[in-house]
Structure 1
Amino acid sequence: MTDLPVLPGAEPLYATGSRTGVLVSHGFTGTPQSMRFLAEGIARAGYTVALPRLKGHGTTPADMAAATASDWTADIVAAMRWLEERCDVLFMTGLSMGGTLTLWAAAQFPDRFAGVIPINAAVAMDSPDMAALAFAPDAPAELPGIGSDIKAPDVKELAYPVTPVPAIKHLIALGAVTQMMLSRVKCPILVIQSREDHVVPPRNGKLIMSAVSSTEKELLWLENSYHVATLDNDKELILEKILEFIKKHS
Structure 2
Amino acid sequence: MTHHFDVLPGAEPFISEGGKTGILVSHGFTGTTQSMRPLAEAFANEGYSVYAPRLKGHGTHYEDMETSTYQDWIASVEEAYAWLSERCDKIFVAGLSMGGTLALYMAENHPEIVAISLINAAVEVPDMEGVKELQDVRFLDAIGSDIKKPGITELAYDKTPVASVKEILPFMDLVRKNLSAIHCPTLLFVSPEDHVVPPANSTFIFEHISSEEKDLIEMPDSYHVATLDHDQQRIIDGTLAFFRKYE
TM norm structure 1 = 0.96
Residue pair 1:25, 1:52 contacting (<8 A) in 2 also:
yes
**1:20 partner amino acid:** T
1:176 aligned residue: 173
Written as runs of structure 1 = structure 2, the 5 A alignment for 1:1-250 is 3-110=4-111, 112-127=112-127, 130-134=128-132, 136=134, 138-250=135-247
The alignment partner of 2:50 has SS state of: strand
Residue 126 of structure 1: how far off its partner (Å) = 2.1
- For structure 2, the 5+ residue unaligned runs are none
**1:10 partner amino acid:** A
Residue 133 of structure 1: how far off its partner (Å) = 1.5
Residue 135 of structure 1: how far off its partner (Å) = 5.1
Residue 246 of structure 1: how far off its partner (Å) = 1.3
Q: Deviations over 1:16-47 (max 9, x none)?
A: 11100000000000000000000000100110
Residue 132 of structure 1: how far off its partner (Å) = 2.5
**1:131 partner amino acid:** E
Residue 170 of structure 1: how far off its partner (Å) = 0.9
- Matches of 2:29 and 2:237 in 1, distance apart? 25
Residue pair 1:133, 1:139 contacting (<8 A) in 2 also:
no
Q: Deviations over 1:93-134 (max 9, x none)?
A: 010000000001101112x2110011100101122xx21323
**2:130 partner amino acid:** A
Would you say how many aligned residue pairs link Structure 1 and Structure 2? 246
- Matches of 1:173 and 1:154 in 2, distance apart? 35
Residue pair 1:134, 1:166 contacting (<8 A) in 2 also:
no
- Matches of 1:91 and 1:71 in 2, distance apart? 21
Residue 2 of structure 1: how far off its partner (Å) = 7.9
The alignment partner of 2:167 has SS state of: helix
- For structure 1, the 5+ residue unaligned runs are none
Residue pair 1:18, 1:46 contacting (<8 A) in 2 also:
yes
- Matches of 1:41 and 1:134 in 2, distance apart? 39
Residue 4 of structure 1: how far off its partner (Å) = 2.5
Q: Deviations over 1:210-234 (max 9, x none)?
A: 0000011110111100000000000
The alignment partner of 1:113 has SS state of: coil
Residue pair 1:106, 1:185 contacting (<8 A) in 2 also:
yes
User: Post-superposition, which runs of at least 4 consecutive aligned residues in structure 1 deviate over 2 A?
Assistant: 1-4
* Stretch deviating more after TM superposition (138-147 or 84-93): 138-147
For the aligned residues, what is the CA RMSD?
1.1
Q: Deviations over 1:131-174 (max 9, x none)?
A: 132353x2411011001000000000000001011100111111
